[in-house]
Amino acid sequence: MVYEVSQEVIVMIEGVNIKPLKKICDERGMVMHMLRASDPEFKKFGEIYFSCIYPGIIKAWHIHKKMTLNYAVVKGMIKLVLYDDRSKSTTKGEIMEIFMGENNYVLVTIPPHVWNGFKGVGTEMAIVANCSTHPYDSKEISRLDPIKNKIPYNWNIKQG
């Protein structure tokens, strides 16, 4: 499913939130808000990193045992895809697609145990910011091949 964001917070997979973010523009440039300690999405600080992705490239699939992710795309566009494989979740089996970036500037909060990955879309490299609740630890992350895996998702462009 594809979700467009209005001025409200959207929840389609249990524990996942999408919140519109503010851009403040003037003749000097722009300020792009992402996450404040006073925001309900903020749990704790682990680390901030930036992932750069070229158009058409897929960075998927991964899942965290402890870490909550807070993604915002500050340059370019991506297709973020989430898959809920949690046995006790009310949305088990749900797939969620979110097109986010300069044309849809949002914060997506992803709780632990939700598979996620993204694909660069458009014509330029995208820069994805992540403010996570824990520093990276290779022992708390699991990965799957982007194509050959158990997740019922096809990364190809939809023909309409």
Residue-level length of the chain: 160
Inform me whether the pLDDT recorded for 65 exceeds 80: yes
In this prediction the pTM is 0.91
Could you tell me the residue ranges of all domains in the chain? 2-143
158 pLDDT band, cuts 50/70/90, is: confident
Q: What is the pLDDT of residues 11-52, one digit of tens each?
A: 589 999 999 999 999 999 999 999 999 999 999 999 999 999
134-152 mean pLDDT: 96
CA distance 135 to 76: 25
68-95 mean pLDDT: 97
Q: What is the pLDDT of residues 109-125, one digit of tens each?
A: 999 999 999 999 999 99
Contact by Cβ (8 Å): 59, 53 = yes
Q: What is the pLDDT of residues 18-28, one digit of tens each?
A: 999 999 999 99
Q: What topology does CATH give the domain 2-143?
A: Jelly Rolls (2.60.120)
What pLDDT is stored for residue 4 in this prediction?
47
Max Cα–Cα distance, the chain, nearest Å: 51
- Say how many C-beta atoms besides its own lie within 10 A of residue 28's C-beta: 6
Q: Which two tokens stand for residue 69?
A: 């992710």
What pLDDT is stored for residue 35 in this prediction?
96
CA distances for 95 relative to 83, 86, 134, 137, angstroms: 5, 12, 25, 26
- Say how many C-beta atoms besides its own lie within 10 A of residue 69's C-beta: 22
